[in-house]
Amino acid sequence: MTALLVSSPLAAADERLELLKNISAAGAPGLTLKMLDEAQPKVDEDLYEWILWEQERLAILTQWQQWDELLVRIEALPADMPRQFKRQAATYQARAFLRLGQSPTAREVLRQQLWQPDASESAEYETWRRQVIESYLGDGRIEDARIALLRFDQDFDSDDLDWLLLRARVLIEAGRYEQAIQILQGQEAWQARLTSLYAGFRLNRIDKGELWRQVKERSASEDIDPGERATLWALAYRAAQQMAPVDRVVALESLFRNSQQSPLQLFQLSVDMLWQAYLEYAELVGNRSELLLGDDEKWLQLADKARQVTPVKSRSLFAMLMLQSADSQVANQAAAGYMQTFAEIDEAERNLLANLFNRSQTFSSARKIPAGIRYQLVDLALKSADIEEATRLMSGLNTIPEGSSQFDWQLRQSRVLILGGRYDEGNQVLQNLITGYREPSAEATDRILQVLFDMQTVSLHAEAITHFNALLRLEIEPKQRREILYWIADSYRGLEKYNQAALLYLQSAMLPAPDAMDPWAQTARYNAAESLQASGLVDDARRIYLELLAITDDAARRSVLNHKIQRLWLSQGED
């Protein structure tokens, strides 16, 4: 990470920053950024502490590859920032443009920095020079990259791994494989080892079969990280380019089942290459079977027949029909068949599907994805808690999918729309569902309740209350009736209507019997007391706390109740 501008921040700020780093590392960058928003001072209140927090924000956005958000943040920086921080921000900005494939724009940012009279005195100077080399590689200007590399070597004495890998990449792109191998000699990191292996393959020192064998053997190990595994399968694809079409499909499917791409630019491949590999393999299979293009029914039969024995062949045939059939019904059948080639949709298959349909130019628009597969992709996105993706995929899907009931479809629609922020549409779909809900079952009612909980999560309390009350008018089970009273109370509490909340909590507690004190009743009574306290009915709240204290043996709960009662006495004393 870029060196911090502020060398001795307050200890408290230091601790908060360390906590944020740990939360981000745990896989919760969204939560980290929200916490950062709350902790970061205003820029006009404490500039240097603001910069300290802003540096961490830029580092987090970079770590999680949130390039668009990073660029928006940098472009909105005040113009009067200290020079050193502006140079750090320019480094992040150039990196974002490079990762987005906008090499000329990155180079323009870098030129603005490098042409400044005192540029060589900046701590960022060496990084900018390396980024210029990367920008030439991104544009395919290999000779310019090689010349820039030679000039860098003349000006700097650097031998860190990242620089050695960049040098090796330039040399490999320039066809100087022997030099690349020499540069990486003695380096034990897997990045260096696999880069050298690739250079050796290009020199014919290792043949395609041996390279394929090594990839399969190493990738089967459980002690390698996703970056190395992705690099291995990208290497396998290089070998497979000299092998059969089926091998290219196997290598690319294995690559895109991974949770991430290779961290090495040399081994980063486009998922559209897999779509092309599917087509090439399907064409070979079709020719061998003497099938004619356009005879969709026979292609479907062949794909279905291969599904159990050779799923890779089946997927390739189904993929070809998805992409090339002029009949939308055939494309939907092929999409359904493609999904059926998987024994189960585990995490690896979800990665593969997300790459193929959500991150490819082949299906750059969700509307291009056959409806038969979009429905399943929506469900997979929901399981992965990717609400933005689920909403994108749902857009324009208005017909009930084959094999699904109207109830299931409306539930799915309403949930995606609500979680995706399209509240009015989601609420209307749910209202239509509940209006037609005439024969309730415990399972179906529970599923409706899950969507109502989503509504409460996004503070649609008034709308949730309407739907809860509609369910209460039906012949539902007593246990669910009791629960719904509690959830309605929760929504009234969210609306700060504490008297109504307290009444409904008590109704929920007493539904089996007026003196019920089972665990559910105790929880409901406790919430009723808190609501009464919030509404100013302190004596009523105290009586309920005392009733709970009288029947509670658990020491921790008794301590909480005693504290509540004591606080009530104190608040009355203050009045």
Distances in Å between the Cα of 30 and the Cα atoms of 49, 105, 259, 465 are 21, 28, 19, 30
Tokens of 206: 């290792």
Note the pLDDT of residue 550. Answer: 87
Runs of H (alpha helix) within 64-176: 67-75, 83-99, 103-114, 125-138, 142-155, 161-173
3-state secondary structure of 224: coil
Note the pLDDT of residue 1. Answer: 38
To the question of domain 11-201 being in CATH 1.20.1740.10, the answer is no
Domain boundaries, the chain: 11-201, 273-404, 505-575
Distances in Å between the Cα of 285 and the Cα atoms of 146, 237, 512 are 43, 20, 67
Note the pLDDT of residue 572. Answer: 58
3-state secondary structure of 141: coil
Note the pLDDT of residue 8. Answer: 42
Which residues have CB under 8 Å from 257's CB, separation 6+?
348, 349, 351, 352
Could you report how far apart the first and last alpha carbons of the chain are, in Å?
55
Note the pLDDT of residue 3. Answer: 40
Q: How far apart are CA 104 and CA 124, in angstroms?
A: 19
Tokens of 152: 């860098």
Note the pLDDT of residue 385. Answer: 63
Q: How far apart are CA 158 and CA 136, in angstroms?
A: 20
Note the pLDDT of residue 196. Answer: 97
Q: Which helix (H) or strand (E) holds 56?
A: helix 47-63
Tokens of 106: 């990155």
Closest CA to 393 of 413, 408, 409, 411: 413
Note the pLDDT of residue 26. Answer: 67
Note the pLDDT of residue 316. Answer: 97
Q: How far apart are CA 306 and CA 108, in angstroms?
A: 53
Per-residue pLDDT in tens (0 to 9) along the chain, 575 residues: 344 444 444 455 567 777 777 777 766 677 778 888 888 888 888 888 899 899 999 999 998 889 999 999 999 999 889 999 999 999 999 999 999 999 999 999 999 999 999 999 999 999 999 999 999 999 999 999 999 999 999 999 888 999 999 999 999 999 999 999 999 999 999 999 999 999 999 999 999 999 999 999 999 998 899 999 999 999 999 999 999 999 999 999 999 999 889 999 999 999 999 999 999 999 999 999 988 888 899 999 999 999 889 999 999 999 999 999 989 889 989 998 999 999 888 888 989 998 999 889 998 888 888 877 887 787 777 776 677 777 778 776 666 666 667 888 888 888 888 887 888 988 998 998 999 888 888 999 899 998 998 899 889 999 999 999 999 998 888 899 999 999 999 999 999 999 989 899 889 988 888 888 888 888 888 888 888 888 888 788 888 888 888 888 777 777 877 777 777 766 655 54
Is the CB of residue 411 less than 8 Å from the CB of residue 446?
no
Helices (H) and strands (E) in the chain, counts: 30, 0
Q: What dihedral do alpha carbons 190, 195, 198, 202 form, nearest 10°?
A: -160
Q: Cα 161 vs. chain centroid, distance in angstroms?
A: 29
Runs of H (alpha helix) within 473-518: 478-494, 498-510
Token look-up 């921040």 returns 9
Q: How far apart are CA 455 and CA 446, in angstroms?
A: 14
Note the pLDDT of residue 562. Answer: 77
Tell me how crowded residue 93 is: count the other CB atoms within 10 A of its CB: 24
Q: How far apart are CA 445 and CA 423, in angstroms?
A: 21
Tokens of 170: 């330039």
3-state secondary structure of 274: helix
Note the pLDDT of residue 49. Answer: 87
pTM to 2 decimal places: 0.73
Q: How far apart are CA 1 and CA 57, in angstroms?
A: 11
